[in-house]
Amino acid sequence: MFQVPSHDPVVIAGSTHRELASRIAAELKVPLGRVRFNRFSNENLKVCIEENVRDRDVYVVQTSCPPVNESFMETLILIDALKSASAGRVTAVLPYLPYARSDKQDEPGISVTARLVADLLVTAGANRVLAMDLHSPQIAGFFRVPIDHITAIPVLCDALVKRDEGAARVVVATDIGEAKDAGRFAGSMKLPLAVIDKRRSGDDEHAVPNAIVGDVKGRHALIVDDEIATGGTIMEAAELVMGMGAASVEAAVVHPVLSGNAVERLRASPLRRLIVTDSIPVPEHKRDPRIEVVSVAPLLAEAIRRIHGGHSLYDMASRR
């Protein structure tokens, strides 16, 4: 006789961030779904779902980190395999979306690759998407399936509020685009806001902070940004606020991309602490005592719980 099926969500880990997927599964009190990955000598990948997912509500946890392109191909094959295995509904849980920065046609003849990524995920069979702190809000509109775009800003705020250092602080936005998020961050921490006027030209990865609107003198500056990639934006912002007389400087960032020589830059910078989330794993060789990681597993687990149960995510939504 067959058993009555369980209605728990099924959490499947891609190979980019098994640790985060395991934490999410633990929060949800479900085991990780069993999957086998075979990588062949011709670099082809075979994914085999070793779990009964028939008609189940499945959540594939896969972030974007090196090797970015290979990992994305794995995501597509994994989703396709789940559809082959008759999964009822597949939600792609993407803490950091691949190619999120390629979100606009800012010069002729280029691919808006974030849109292509969205199309490919849907073509592979994703029925829904759960994303976190997308580089820009319009990316959510690239998906032809429902997307929940949540924010980890409250997770970072909580981590900072827990250690009240009794200092006069000021939240600093790295540019005008980040001012809305940083403003919310400042609002929930009841702190003043300063905004850096930053200029970037074309695909030049070098950002130039120009001036600050707001007062940082004598205050402990807390720079807020959605991601740290090469570190140029944050480190130069840190130099600028210190040059403007800040007492100290630290940064709170959602996505620790830490590409290029970001960690060397961090070590040579006046930044006393960098708080990031585990939306992307920080490998051993990129760790530094100044980098503190807070987990978004409880946040993502709560989002999955609500999606699975058909409840609203309104209060978790990003308002970028």
Residues designated catalytic:
198
Query: With binding defined as CB under 6 A, does residue 131 bind ligand R5P?
Result: no
Of the candidates 196, 146, 99, 179, the residue with the CA atom closest to the CA atom of residue 303: 146
The answer to whether 177 contacts ligand R5P (rule: CB under 6 A) is yes
Which stretch in 13-21, 73-81, 173-181, 288-296 sits in contact with ligand R5P by CB under 6 A? 173-181
Q: Which of 27, 57, 103, 226 binds ligand R5P (CB under 6 A)?
A: 226
* Residue 92 and residue 60 in contact, taking contact as beta carbons nearer than 8 Å: yes
Query: CB atoms < 10 A from the CB of 313, how many?
Result: 14
Site for ligand R5P in 234-263 (CB under 6 A): none
In three-state secondary structure terms, 223 is: strand
* Nearest alpha-carbon partner for 247 in 157, 161, 168, 163: 168
CB of 256 to ligand R5P, least distance (A): 10
Sign of CA dihedral 278, 240, 216, 183: negative
Q: Does 103 participate in binding ligand R5P (rule CB under 6 A)?
A: no
d(CA 162, CA 105): 41
Q: At its nearest, how many Å lie between ligand R5P and the CB of residue 236?
A: 8
Of 55, 106, 204, 205, which one interacts with ligand R5P (CB under 6 A)?
205
Please state the closest distance from residue 99 (CB atom) to ligand R5P, in A.
13
Task: Tell me whether residue 177 or residue 192 sits nearer to ligand R5P (CB atom).
Answer: 177
CA dist 207 and 146 (Å) reads: 34
Q: Is 232 in the site for ligand R5P (CB under 6 A)?
A: yes
Provide, rounded to whole angstroms, the least separation between the CB of residue 262 and ligand R5P.
7
Q: Which position among 57, 133, 148, 178 is part of the footprint of ligand R5P (CB under 6 A)? A: 178
Residues 6+ apart with CB under 8 A from 251: 222, 223, 224, 225, 228, 234, 237, 238, 271, 273, 274, 275
Among 91, 174, 277, 279, binds ligand R5P (CB under 6 A): 174
Give the nearer residue to ligand R5P in terms of CB position, either 124 or 266.
266
116: tokens are: 């292509």
Shortest spacing between CB 320 and ligand R5P, in angstroms: 10
Using the contact rule CB under 6 A, the part of the chain among 17-25, 72-80, 155-163, 170-178 near ligand R5P is 170-178
227 lines the binding site for ligand R5P (CB under 6 A): yes
Selected binder of ligand R5P within 9, 14, 98, 231 (CB under 6 A): 231
Interaction pattern, residues 14-43, with ligand R5P; x per rule: CB under 6 A: ------------------------------
- Rule CB under 6 A: say whether 225 interacts with ligand R5P: yes
* CB-CB neighbours of 309 under 10 Å: 10
Stretch that binds ligand R5P, among 20-28, 104-112, 126-134, 223-231 (CB under 6 A): 223-231
- Tokens representing 29 are 């009190």
Residue 230 touching ligand R5P (CB under 6 A):
yes
Phi, psi of 162 (to 5 degrees): -60, -30
d(CA 140, CA 114): 10
- In angstroms, the Cα distances linking 50 to 63, 90, 134, 273 are 22, 16, 32, 43
Q: How far is CA 190 from the centre of its chain?
A: 25
What residues line the site for ligand R5P (CB under 6 A)?
174, 177-178, 205, 207, 225-233
